[in-house]
Structure 1
Amino acid sequence: MGKRVLITGGGSGIGRAMAETFSAQGDRVLVTDQDAAALATCPEDWIAVQGDASDPAHMREVFARIAAEWGGIDVVCANAGIAGPTALVEDVEPEEFRRCVAVNLEGAFLAAKYAAPMMKAQKSGAIIITSSNAGLYGFPNRAPYASAKWAVLGLMKTLAMELGPFGIRANAIAPGCVEGPRIDGVIEREARAKGTTPEVIRAGYEAGVSMRSFVTAQDVANMAAFLASDGARLVSGQVIAVDGHTENPDPKV
């Protein structure tokens, strides 16, 4: 009956595109998200659970339900994340930093922690973590986000080493700027911080990409589906950029 797939942060954006893509190929899908309104729009054949991916109690509940209803898990897309503040490092409040790291890094850790015993028991599985090209470069005015997205790569590499002997693969996707409300908000905040216009910031981002384009959530979802497939059976421990090739992460225009 297809794969059993968990997507955190699956109510909208990249996570929603992932869920739709897996569902369309006949897989069973469970999505978690904090946004009840977004979850209310999920198809009836999905399992939708509201909660915070960085909350251990919530994630224990999610995996208890997976065990009860599916008896195991084949694919975990640790996708939940938040943009965090846009500010110089000296202007970032400690709580803002901690919250950004908690959702982006601790959420991925919890998903892996609770998936690992199930996947080890069945000697198969794929863990896919959503990083960012902010996890490949420095990112001025986004220290919390860049820190978290670099950190998930260390987590992924370690998972690949620990779980590989059990037939379990771990990889990360590093999207570039993904079209949608989140990047629009980032651009607006950066424009205010730099005293310029959103159009100038957007043009600068595009100029720093070889293909001169933002990506879509579907572009990222397509990569997740590949990494979960038998076609990627020996792809593990890798960071796959889906960004049109970033030449300069902080271009000046």
Structure 2
Amino acid sequence: MANTPTYDFTGKAALVTGAASGMGLAAARGFAENGAAVALLDRSADAVEKAARDLVDAGRRAIGIACDVTDEAQVAAAVDRAVETFGRLDMAFNNAGVQAPPSDAAEETAEDFDRVNAVNLRGVWAAQKHELRHMRAQGSGAIVNNSSLGGLVGLPERAAYHASKHGVIGLTKSAAVEYAPRGIRINAVCPGVIETPMVAGMLEGQAEAMAAIMQDQPIGRLGTADEIAAAALWLCSDAASLVVGVALPVDGGYTTH
């Protein structure tokens, strides 16, 4: 987490979904390096257990939990296990997400629509729901949901994906106004085109479309997972104590035009 602020998360516990790679892994490392105990959740059991083990080997407190966010029962059990392990839950980054293949809006399949919404929207809904159960009893907490520039704008051949990410913002804002009076802050981050395994696949398989997207990237480069993690950590920290219900673009200027 070079060139980013440091926080004192000592005595606090964090939970991150989609934590085995990309933005989720960067955030989990950031929370841990700033003193938090971290529960890493991911559908890949081997990968998430290795990620947690690496943090433990570096002297951090962490557990890896295999969890498919499309299954609410798994999400509830994973959140409960995190709280049982660490005794509390102070911060969460609901990051797990998938892409949908580009498709003419008249040709998108129900299967693709259901899959992308099951992970990107219902998965965030389930994670937030069960995190709030514990934070509500605790009377404190901060949640960051991962939306996208696709939650703020529309792009051709991205209807299902953008619908899911717009939904995350609506979910975030509604829960934020409900829970702010109870001491819990909820916000969203909206990453631009970030250098992650998912985007690497898009760059390779959809080179023409991605070249067009990069033309609209004022900063002239891909973002990094650490840059999104830095935003998530700030939103979870006391430094963002007055920030409630925002959808924060972290996109190198993409959504400014």
TM-score normalised according to structure 2 size: 0.89
Q: Show the 5 A alignment for 1:1-253.
A: 1-44=10-53, 45=56, 46-190=62-206, 198=207, 200-246=208-254
Q: Quick check: 1:208–1:248 contact (8 Å CA) kept in 2?
A: no
Which shifted more, 145-154 or 49-58? 49-58
Q: Deviations over 1:52-80 (max 9, x none)?
A: 01211101111221232223210111111
Distance in 1 (CA, whole Å) between partners of 2:101 and 2:209 is 17
Q: CA deviation at 1:172?
A: 0.3
Q: Quick check: 2:143–2:187 contact (8 Å CA) kept in 1?
A: yes
Distance in 2 (CA, whole Å) between partners of 1:229 and 1:72 is 16
Q: Deviations over 1:224-243 (max 9, x none)?
A: 11011110011011011111
Is there any run of 5+ residues in structure 1 with no aligned partner, and where? 191-197
AA of the residue aligned to 2:27: M
1:29 is paired with a residue whose SS is strand
Distance in 2 (CA, whole Å) between partners of 1:70 and 1:127 is 17
Distance in 2 (CA, whole Å) between partners of 1:2 and 1:120 is 18
TM-score normalised according to structure 1 size: 0.90
Distance in 2 (CA, whole Å) between partners of 1:93 and 1:201 is 20
Q: How many residues align?
A: 241
Q: CA-atom RMSD, angstroms? A: 1.6
Q: Give runs of ≥4 in structure 1 deviating > 6 Å.
A: none
Distance in 1 (CA, whole Å) between partners of 2:256 and 2:249 is 14
Q: CA deviation at 1:39?
A: 1.5
Q: Quick check: 1:100–1:144 contact (8 Å CA) kept in 2?
A: yes
Distance in 2 (CA, whole Å) between partners of 1:40 and 1:114 is 22
Q: Quick check: 1:8–1:78 contact (8 Å CA) kept in 2?
A: yes
2:195 is paired with a residue whose SS is coil
Cα gap change, 1:41 to 1:201, in 2 (>3 Å):
same
Distance in 2 (CA, whole Å) between partners of 1:12 and 1:185 is 14
Q: CA deviation at 1:247?
A: 5.1
Q: CA deviation at 1:17?
A: 0.4
Distance in 2 (CA, whole Å) between partners of 1:188 and 1:13 is 17
Q: Deviations over 1:85-139 (max 9, x none)?
A: 2211222210111010010001111111111121112211001000000111112
Distance in 1 (CA, whole Å) between partners of 2:133 and 2:39 is 18
Q: Quick check: 2:195–2:223 contact (8 Å CA) kept in 1?
A: yes
Cα gap change, 1:240 to 1:247, in 2 (>3 Å):
closer
Q: Quick check: 2:37–2:86 contact (8 Å CA) kept in 1?
A: no
Q: Quick check: 1:85–1:144 contact (8 Å CA) kept in 2?
A: no
